[in-house]
Amino acid sequence: MSTAPQDSPNTFSGVGAQAHSIAPASAPAAPRPAARKSNSLALWVRDLLVSAAASVLIITFLYQPVRVEGTSMLPRLEDRDRLFINKFAYHIEAIERSDIVVFHYPRDPEKSYIKRVIALPGDRVRIDRGQVWLNGKRLREPYVPPQYRDTRSMPEMVVPPDCYFMMGDHRSISSDSREFGPVERSLIYGKAVFVYWPAKDAGVLR
């Protein structure tokens, strides 16, 4: 850090050494109460506008609050739960198995579904009386309690390129890729990350 040069306390000139005295500067006048209130109001308005702008940017480009409708993701997500989805996540990271994602329903893009990713592009997936087999191995699914399983079967299929096989955790009532097929990557627009309401269910989604 650089500093500007300053005069020493005493300077000398002429034949004799004379100390130059410096009169103390007068203190600035105290601001009027009205001016203080005006400045405080201006700062408050500025902070409010900055916060509002930041919130809009975050919601528009990063996080978006959504409400769950239905019970196909029980037991983790209940009907009318409120959660945040990250709309930016999949621009910088890959979609992974077991991610909970939000996507446009393939048969009606005006609707949105929330499901769990079970299989990735190129995976071989089949279902035998409710048990999912992935690439020849039985898939462990701790997020599906026994009471939410079903006995449906599906012949083996290979997930097409740029598509993902989705299923709800409540297998006996979920409408998912077993019915409408794998979901194209272009339809997936968010990763569900955090439940914020009701408070008893608040927490990170896994």
Question: Residue 72 catalytic?
Answer: yes
pLDDT for res 50: 74
Displacement of CA 202 from its chain's centroid (Å): 14
pTM metric for this prediction:
0.72
pLDDT for res 19: 36
For the chain, helix (H) and strand (E) counts, in that order, are 3, 12
User: Per-block average pLDDT, block size 10, for the chain (206 residues)?
Assistant: 37 35 46 66 78 62 87 96 94 96 96 97 98 98 96 97 98 97 97 94 91
pLDDT for res 42: 78
pLDDT for res 36: 66
Return the bridge partners of 66, or none: 83
pLDDT for res 23: 43
Annotated catalytic residue: which of 13, 37, 72, 186?
A: 72
Question: Rounded to an integer, what distance in angstroms lies between the CA atom of residue 173 and that of residue 142?
Answer: 18
77 C-beta neighbours (distance < 10 Å), count: 22
Contact present, 137 and 164 (Cβ < 8 Å): no
Annotated catalytic residue: which of 8, 87, 115, 200?
A: 115
pLDDT for res 22: 36
The pairs formed by 89-94 with CB atoms below 8 angstroms and a separation of 24 or more are 89/190, 89/191, 89/193, 90/188, 90/190, 90/191
| Strand 124-128 relative to strand 188-197, pairing | unpaired
Peptide bond before residue 5 is cis, with ω within 30 degrees of 0:
no
Question: Residue 87 catalytic?
Answer: no
Give the tokens for residue 145: 């309690």
Name 205's Cβ contacts closer than 8 Å, sequence gap at least 6: 76, 77, 83, 100, 192, 193, 194, 195
| Domains identified in the chain and CATH numbers | 63-204 (2.10.109.10)
pLDDT for res 170: 98
pLDDT for res 34: 61
pLDDT for res 41: 78
